[in-house]
Amino acid sequence: MIKPILTAAFAGLLLVSGCQSRGKANDGPLVVQSVGASNPYLWRATLDTLSTLPLQSTDPIGGIISYDWKSFPDSPNERVKATVFILDSRLRADGVKVTVHRQVNTEGQWADAAADPETAIQLENKILERARLLRTSQIG
């Protein structure tokens, strides 16, 4: 009875330790590289970049950060929300994907409206820029 349990525990330990191995010697400390399945620099950069939006939910293992609706004072009849997908455990340009949703208020009803696709690209670039700064500051 104990032998199958120990075998399963050992197999689980090997599986988990394999997920935390480093690909390169200059990737930084192991602890920094193993925050869930997401890249910790992209995760922190996303939270920093979109700090003005209210958080709805986070999943560090799945690499998903969902933000709730927010209206801004200069356009009170419009609101936006975003979802960020961190797609890689490495800091790569294609490691983050942002989707932006927009609604407009017409006669008291919120209705979906088209969001400028360039907005998502600009947010992705800002997140990547911030993540690189975070990584550089950790190394230096």
Domain range enclosing 100: 40-138
- Give the type of residue at 138: Q
Does residue 31 sit within a domain? Answer: no
Count of the separate structural domains present in the chain: 1
CB atoms inside a 10 Å sphere around CB 132: 15
Q: CATH number of the domain at 120, please.
A: 3.30.530
Kindly report the pTM of this predicted structure. 0.72
- What confidence score (pLDDT) does residue 38 get? 84
Give the C-alpha separation, 86 to 96, whole Å: 5
In terms of Cα–Cα distance, which of 45, 32, 42 is closest to 94? 42
Does residue 62 sit within a domain? Answer: yes
Q: What interhelical angle do 40-49 and 117-139 show, nearest 10?
A: 120
Does residue 22 sit within a domain? Answer: no
pLDDT tens digits, 86-121: 999 999 999 999 999 999 999 999 999 999 999 999
Does residue 97 sit within a domain? Answer: yes
- What confidence score (pLDDT) does residue 19 get? 41
pLDDT tens digits, 11-29: 343 333 344 333 444 444 4
Q: Mean pLDDT throughout 27-34?
A: 39
Does residue 66 sit within a domain? Answer: yes
- What confidence score (pLDDT) does residue 138 get? 84
Does residue 110 sit within a domain? Answer: yes
Does residue 8 sit within a domain? Answer: no
